[in-house]
Amino acid sequence: MRFIIVLLSILFIGQSCFAQKLYQRFADAEMKRFPEAWQLDHGKRLYFGYGQGLACLAMLKVWEATQDQKYFDYVEKWADTVIRNDGNIHLYKLETYNIDYINPGKILFPLYEKTKKEKYKIAIETLMGQLKWHPRTHEGGYWHKLIYPHQIWLDGVYMAAPFVAQYGQFTGDTQYYDDAVNHVLLTAKHTFDVKSGLYYHAWDESKNQMWANKTTGQSPNFWGRSIGWYFMAMLDVLDYIPENHKGRAEIVQLIQNLAASLQKYQDKDGLWWQVIDKQRAPKNYQEASVNAMFLYSYAKAMNKGYIGKDYEKLTNKLLKGIQNKLLIKDVGNTLTLIQCNAVAGLGGTPYRDGGYEYYVNERIRENDAKANGPFIMGCIEFNK
């Protein structure tokens, strides 16, 4: 009996140590693949993109965990180039009212705190200036983009809400806490499906979109990554919302409910599927970004005490599933994540109808920042 206990302890420590090494090994692999941070997410030009912002946020978390300056320098080199000396953001277009522009702004807070470069603060104010005029639903939720009127997407909650909450902490202005919480709760109100316990990808307040249910305004499917975006958004918002804020308990309850609901859809190998509720349906597949985002979300939720330690088994199984099925070594012995959905959305030209066939036929690639960034952050949280 004692031998079994010792063996189990060794196995647990081994997995923990592997995760500890893994986030740094994977961050180093990203820097090897993409020597300049603008190249992250397979970038072809210097751009203030949400994918680069997500991956760079992960690099800053590796810097915090290791105190190795190279990770900070990698991020700052990109920011120093994409944010001009006068604080203007390269290729940024306010008039598009694109919520994706907000996400890379998250890295500017720690950069400004450490370097005190005024241009980072100016850029933060520029992005918040967009949100002050950003079009909203009648209840105050941010539209996804000007070209997608009256629509709230789960993706957009991650792009904006944590930034708004962090800006509230940055300035000491409590109205921004209220705004961030409102966006999270409104999204839950309009995208949640009681029967499944899951969230639809988007909601159209006008109900005019072809993809929108004419009664509810909801899109037709449960896209894994979109739920991952929302799960991460709720957790990250709470990093900045004061303990006594009236909306905090509601968000914690949403986190607990989602954590419980998702258990029903985890496959026996520990993984979730591109369209979550249609396991093994034709062309469906176990997609990397949703699993990386859930790794981050479950591990962080446990670390913060929002959910119980009884989710450790689920999270251990998830990491093992990623290691076994989605993580490989390429010819240069460099770690790679496979089966990443490159992009998915709704509307536009050509029109994306949100149907099952749409999601499972979108382009798949390796080492997408929407998977790699959360995977790095997930391994850091797992190690804690």
Reading the block at residue 175, the tokens are 């109205």
CB 232 within 8 A of CB 156: no
Q: Residue 6: pLDDT band by 50, 70, 90 thresholds?
A: very low
Q: Is 100 a catalytic residue?
A: no
Architecture of domain 2-383: Alpha/alpha barrel (1.50)
DSSP state of 276: T
Token pair listed for 309: 């330690």
Provide mean pLDDT across the span 143-157. Answer: 98
Task: Output the pLDDT for position 14.
Answer: 45
> What is the Cβ-side half-sphere exposure of residue 98, based on CA atoms within 13 angstroms?
14
pLDDT over threshold 50, residue 237: yes
The reported pTM is: 0.94
pLDDT of residue 354 exceeding 50: yes
What is the band of 198 on the pLDDT scale with cuts at 50, 70, 90?
Answer: very high
Residue spans of the domains in the chain: they are 2-383
**Bridge partners for 329 per DSSP:** 335
* Segment 300-350, tens digit of pLDDT: 999 999 999 999 999 999 999 999 999 998 877 899 999 999 999 999 999
**DSSP output for 106-170:** GGHHHHHHHH--HHHHHHHHHHHHHHHH--B-TTSPBPSBTTBTTEEEHHHHHHHHHHHHHHHHH
Q: Which of 41, 155, 178, 368 is catalytic?
A: 155
User: Tokens 């009996």 identify what position?
Assistant: 1
Reduced to 3 states (helix: H, G, I; strand: E, B; else coil), residue 282 is coil
Say whether pLDDT at 95 is over 90. Answer: yes
- 8 A C-beta contact, residue 339 and residue 304: no
